[in-house]
Amino acid sequence: MKKQTIELMIATPEGLFRACYSDEGLSGLNFPEGRARRRCAGAPAPRKIRHWHRATASALKAVLAGREPKRLPPLATEGTEFRKSVWEQLRKLRRGETKSYGQIAAAIGRPAAVRAVGGACGANPIPVLVPCHRVVAANGKAGGFSGGMEWKRKLLAREGVRI
DNA sequence: ATCTTAACTGTGT
DNA sequence: ACACAGTTAAGAT
């Protein structure tokens, strides 16, 4: 049996998010796309995954509302060692707390890899729950965001962060 | 305060 | 080997 990922939707006040699961846990989370894929039919998801999905949905809504999620589903992120170590640092950022790309780089022992850290953030498969939006530029400005600057601003604003 | 330039590093092709 | 990216610090205007 091959490794297949199951795709489930989450309805939020901000739109319809799409979550992807492997049999290890949550492997991806996507911002609402223009086209809302209706996927009511087909094989129902395994109970294990539906359980994770509840946690994901609840956590996502919490962060969107500017609150701290109570619990997270197991995260099944795949990537380079470098990237994983970056994401590990991101998970330590709490609500309203921000760090610069340089600070993250220093935290993983590669103080000069600031630019690469930016790349790692952009490659983050699970935005919002892995708070890549809490990484800002060193000069106090916002920095970039692969999911669209509107999201980054909105998420930070919900947490009371001013830029 | 804003613009330009020059380093720097991990990844994908 | 090369070009790119969610950077940065320093210098010029």
Closest C-alpha to A13, from A55, A56, A71, A61: A61
Q: Indicate the number of domains in chain A.
A: 2
Same domain? A90 vs A124: yes
Residue A114 approaches strand B within 7 Å at CB? yes
pTM: 0.93
* φ and ψ at residue A56, rounded to 5 degrees: -60, -50
- Quick one: A95 and A134 in the same domain? yes
Q: Is A27 a member of any domain?
A: yes
Same domain? A34 vs A86: no
Q: Do A55 and A86 lie in a common domain?
A: no
Which positions of A are annotated as active-site residues? 132
A5 beta carbon < 7 A from strand B? no
CA torsion sign for A41, A42, A46, A49 is negative
* Digit-coded pLDDT (tens) for A136-158: 999 999 999 999 999 999 999 99
For residues A55 and A16, membership in a common domain is answered with: yes
- A135 shares a domain with A99: yes
Q: Is residue A163, in this structure, part of any structural domain at all?
A: no
Instruction: Answer yes or no: is A118 CB < 7 A from strand B.
Output: no
Do A91 and A135 lie in one domain? The reply is yes
HSE of A142, CA atoms in CB hemisphere, 13 A: 17
Domain assignment present for residue A20? The answer is yes
- Tell me, yes or no, whether A88 and A154 share the same domain: yes
| Protein-proximal positions, strand B, CB < 7 A | 7-12
Nearest nt (C1') to A110 (CA)? B9
A137 touches strand B (CB under 7 A): no
Do A91 and A58 belong to one domain? no
Q: Considering the domain boundaries, does residue A76 fall inside one?
A: no
| Residue where one domain finishes, among candidates A32, A64, A96 | A64
pLDDT tens for A69-107 read 999 999 999 999 999 999 999 999 999 999 999 999 999
User: Is there a contact between A89 and A104 (Cβ–Cβ < 8 Å)?
Assistant: yes
For position A87, which CATH number holds?
A: 1.10.10.10
Nucleotides, chain C, CB distance < 7 Å: 4-9
Q: Spell out which residues of A between 109 and 148 contact strand C, using CB within 7 Å.
A: 114-119, 121-122, 124, 127, 132-133, 135, 137-139, 143-147
- Considering the domain architecture, whether residues A101 and A144 belong to the same structural domain is answered as yes
Rounded Cα gap, residues A56 and A30, in angstroms? 12
pLDDT tens digits along A16-57:
999 999 999 999 999 998 765 555 556 788 999 999 999 999
What count of other Cβ atoms lies within 10 Å of the Cβ of residue A89? Answer: 19
A151 plus A111 within the same structural domain: yes
DSSP letters along A87-137, please? HHHHTT--TT--EEHHHHHHHTT-TT-HHHHHHHHHT-SSTTTS-GGGEE-
Domain holding A107, by residue range, is 81-158
